[in-house]
Structure 1
Amino acid sequence: MVKIFIILDGVGDRACKLLDGLTPLEAAKTPNLDYFASRGNGGYVYTVNEQLAPESDEAIMALLGYDPTKYYYGRGPLEAYGAGMEFKNGNLALRTNFATVDNRLILDRRVGRTLTTKEAKELEKTINEKVKLDYDFEFRATVGHRGVLVIKGGDFSDNISNVDPAYKRVGRFGVAVNNNINNIEECRALDPERKTKVSANVVNSFVKQCHEILKNHPVNNQRNKKYLLKANAILVRDAGIILPELPKKTGWGAVVSMPLEVGIAKLSGMKVLKFDYPETTNKGLLDNLYKGLNETLAYSKIMIKKGNLSKYFIHFKELDVMGHDNNPIEKKKMIELIDKEFFGYLRKLDDVEFIVTGDHACPCELRGHASDAVPLLHYKKGVKRDTMRRFNESEAEDGYYKQLYGKDVLRKLGFENSITEQEH
């Protein structure tokens, strides 16, 4: 038997005006998921807890069975590790976004999602050549507007605030906020220690220098002529100085493409079945997203068909983007495509067990993450305990599984034994 754990990034939603009051899952035509829902068992899950609007890092870590209150030390090191960057404990790593600003006013946190891979790499090269800090550093553009910064050679602290106002620090966690603050924040030390102040200061220096270097960069001058937003700022968030040691899984393969998920999968001991996510081009956001989604669908089926492993973790990123961009119609279409191409394929398999859920809700009209529970479906042939007939938010309320937490999903649903706790 093959076991598959599927995460639909940001799949959870709320009623959408453009869908006549339905969520994208409720509005989507999903005959294959309906087939499995009518023969499986559903419910809902809080990936971290009821209060937190989680980022993907702590949510995915939890869903893979690792209690984030014990194993999570910040997103930066996870992204750096997944991107293949050199990182040693004690280095300061942060997730970054290319963004568009006017003075300190953020016009777009993601450059309108129009920054091409070629452009991002040109900007990366200039930043690494021209920014001068008191410490060695490496900046790397990864996918689209995303990037990672690693600062080396100092005595650093990760107890610093985010420059990106869309996420705030709550203890160790990065938490999505919807507070309508649209100005670049100063990075602040969150305790009085000297190393914390040093860490905040070096981050502020990096951000300030990047803006000065990027605002009249040839890439941005060309973008301006094309009436495209300039990538003239770097937003940083979710600092970390420790790469966690996770108890290792065996027999798992991970079909993942984003640096974050690659990093977590590698740390967990999974065999990373990474494929090259298509480069972002100037053909438009939806063209880029559907290329990426189709690549993930095709590669997932190839890996399952090979049958070299007994368990697979498969991550679909693109739905989350549609939530952030308030595009419920395309989110619905993507759900339908995944249903047809992936769950339609699973229907042809004789011996398959799977769990499908989301890492968090990303309601379209909210344009960001929410603390809402997300629906979950567990299919195992011959086991039916509830009346659920469709995989969506409303039917999940009547599912068999009540108020699951992310860290308990794999264990309680019989995918694996409990994680052996290690000393930190």
Structure 2
Amino acid sequence: MKYILILADGMADEPIEAINGLTPMEKANTPYIDALTKKSEIGLVSTIPEGMAPGSDTANLSVIGYDPKQYYTGRSPLEALSIGVPLEKEDISFRVNLVTLDEHTKFEDKTIIDHSSSEITTEESKVLLKDLKQAFETESYKFYPGTSYRHLMVWKKGQDVNITPPHDILGQKIGDYFPKNDDFIQMMKKSYDILKDHPINQERIKKGLNPANAMWLWGAGTKPMLDPFEEKFNKKGAMISAVDLLKGIAIGSQMEVIQVEGATGTLHTNYEGKVKAALETLNKGNDFVYIHIEAPDECGHQGNLEDKIQAIEWIDEKVVGPIVTVLDQKEEEYKIMILPDHPTPISLRTHTSNPVPYLIYNSTRKIDNTIPYSEKGGKESGKLIEEGHELMKYFIQ
């Protein structure tokens, strides 16, 4: 039996008036998912433990089968594992987002327009981070490049600083969310002076793209300790993702991390390459593969309804369809699970803690299902897995 988990990050949403009260999942044309739905189990799962923030970190830990209440030590340390950053027990790591601030005169009155700077390319952002590193790196503060707008700072023998994620305060005055740390405030403020007129940003503005004109520090955490996935579930697993967070979780749990050229974490990622890599790793002996697709979440943060619907349709057309077709042709015994990690509603442009719908298809079982795969369908099923980390065990068993 082979196990495939397709994680459509942030896919779940709320009813939207502009599309007649439907959600993007309901509006999207998804013939392959619809065909699977008729033969699948539909239900809801709570991926965010009560009292914890609805982040992709806690949510994906839950989905992979690790109780965030036991294993979560912060978001950025998981990304540090992916980047290869050495963390000591006393170190505190932070996510460094390259964000777009408006041009309001006073820094504290500025707002975050875009948490991803129009999904700036990794090549561009590394140049900008190099300049920030030159300005701010000391024996205490170390900077490391990541992917796109997502980078890392390590405070050697540092202290925890609670800072609101930038995607949670879009359009709000940043001064209301400054960290209680003068060094951090001054670094963030000076970063604007360094980046606002940078040649890369001037070129981006000419192209109609948002400039990456400041850094925002957040996501503090300490070195994580995850149990090996294979020991936990008796399955050899692999991770396919463009996002350092997911790669870090995989490295921490000793899953294989598969790099796919052209995987960007955006709407225009290499869907075909991810599918090819997934099928190849299953052929080579892995029992389980986790295919993470970031696009719906990014579209939700941008408030872009049209692109979010497109992302869901492409996941259906370019991921679900080809995988099911190949495995059926091979007459392979397999199970597929499709779900988001959390909702990212277009109206809010950030995450919520609401339960998300899951679909589980088993090629060896005959199910006659009439419940649609959607947020409403999940509720209609009457099935709710309240502890999200139990879902993986349920799926595999």
Q: 1:164 to 1:28 in 2, by over 3 A?
A: closer
Partner of 1:260: 245
Q: Do the aligned partners of 1:51 and 1:371 also contact (CA within 8 Å) in 2?
A: no
CA separation in 1, counterparts of 2:370 and 2:69?
Answer: 32
Q: 1:209 aligns with which of 187, 190, 195?
A: 190
> 1:96·1:146 contact (CA, 8 Å) conserved in 2?
yes
Percent of aligned pairs with the same amino acid:
27
Q: CA deviation at 1:28?
A: 1.7
Deviations 1:242-295 (A, max 9, x none): 222334424111112210000001111111112234569xxxxxxx63234444
The correspondence of residues 144-163 of structure 1 with structure 2, limited to 5 A, is: 144-152=148-156, 155-158=157-160, 160-162=161-163
- Mapped contact 1:3–1:352 kept (Cα < 8 A): yes
Equivalent residue for 1:317? 294
Change (3 A) 1:15 1:95: same
Aligned to 2:178: 186
- Of the candidates 351, 372, 381, which is equivalent to residue 369 of structure 1? 351
TM-score (norm 1): 0.82
Q: For the Cα contact (< 8 Å) 1:13–1:23, is it kept in 2?
A: yes
Partner of residue 402 from structure 1, selected from 364, 378, 384: 384
Which residue in 1 is equivalent to 2:36? 36
Structure 1 residue 226, shift from structure 2 partner: 5.2
CA distance in 1, matches of 2:275, 2:111: 35
Structure 2 alignment gaps of length 5 or more: none
Residues 164-200 of structure 1: CA deviation (Å, up to 9, x unaligned): 4545xxxxxxxxx78x633143212xxxxxxxxxxx3
State the match for 1:251 in structure 2.
236
Q: Secondary structure of 1:335's match?
A: helix
Once the two structures are overlaid, the 10-residue window that deviates more, 369-378 or 115-124, is 115-124
Within 5 Å, which residues of 2 pair with 1:411-422? 411-413=393-395, 415=396
Partner of 1:289: 267
Query: Which residue is equivalent to 2:281?
Result: 303
The equivalent of 2:63 in structure 1 is 63
1:117 maps to amino acid: T
Residue in 1 that maps onto 2:220: 239
Contact 2:54 2:353 in 1 (8 A): yes
Give the structure 2 partner of residue 94 of structure 1: 94
Whether 1:49 aligns to 2:49 is yes
Q: What is the deviation of 1:315?
A: 0.7
Q: For the residues of structure 2 that align with 1:32 and 1:386, how far apart are their CA atoms?
A: 16
Q: Is the 8 A contact 1:32 1:339 kept in 2?
A: yes
RMSD: 2.6
Q: Which letter does structure 1 place at the counterpart of 2:75?
A: R
Distance 1:147 1:208 in 2: 17
**Alignment CA distance shift 1:165-1:328 (3 Å):** closer
Answer yes or no: is 1:269 the counterpart of 2:254. Answer: yes
Which of the two has greater helix per residue? 2
- Bigger drift between 88-97 and 57-66 goes to 88-97
**How much has 1:132 moved relative to structure 2?**
4.8
Return the offset for 1:395: 1.3
Does residue 4 in structure 1 map to residue 4 in structure 2?
A: yes
Between 1:47-56 and 1:254-263, the stretch displaced more is 47-56
- Rate the CA distance shift 1:347–1:182 in 2: closer, same or farther, 3 A: same
The amino acid across from 1:83 in the alignment is: I
Q: Aligned partners of 2:224, 2:270: CA distance in 1, in Å?
A: 28
Partner Cα separation in structure 2 for residue 97 and residue 64 of structure 1: 25
Q: How many matched pairs?
A: 382
In the TM superposition, what is the alpha-carbon distance from 1:318 to its structure 2 partner? 0.8
Aligned in 2, Cα 1:245/1:119: closer, same or farther, shift over 3 Å? same
Quote the Cα distance in structure 2 between the aligned partners of 1:146 and 1:233: 13
- Cα deviation code 1:68-105 (max 9, x no counterpart): 11110111111111122232222221112111223231
CA distance, structure 1, for counterparts of residue 263 and residue 367 of structure 2: 41
**2:227 alignment partner AA:** L
Distance in 2, matches of 1:163 and 1:362, equals 17
Task: Indicate if the aligned counterparts of 1:48 and 1:58 stay in contact, CA closer than 8 A.
Answer: yes
